[in-house]
Amino acid sequence: PLFESKCYACHGPEKHRGDYRLDLRDHALRGGDSGAPGIVPGDPTQSSVLRLILLPRDHDDAMPPEGKPGLTPAEILAIAHWIQAGAPFDPPS
Residue 93 has pLDDT above 60, yes or no: no
The 10s digit of each residue's pLDDT in 17-55 is 999 999 999 999 999 998 899 999 999 999 999 999 999
End-to-end alpha carbon distance in the chain: 4
**DSSP-derived secondary structure letter, 87:** -
Q: Which pTM value belongs to this model?
A: 0.86
The arithmetic mean of pLDDT across residues 67-77, rounded, is 92
As a whole number of angstroms, the distance between CA 14 and CA 8 comes to 8
**DSSP-derived secondary structure letter, 17:** G
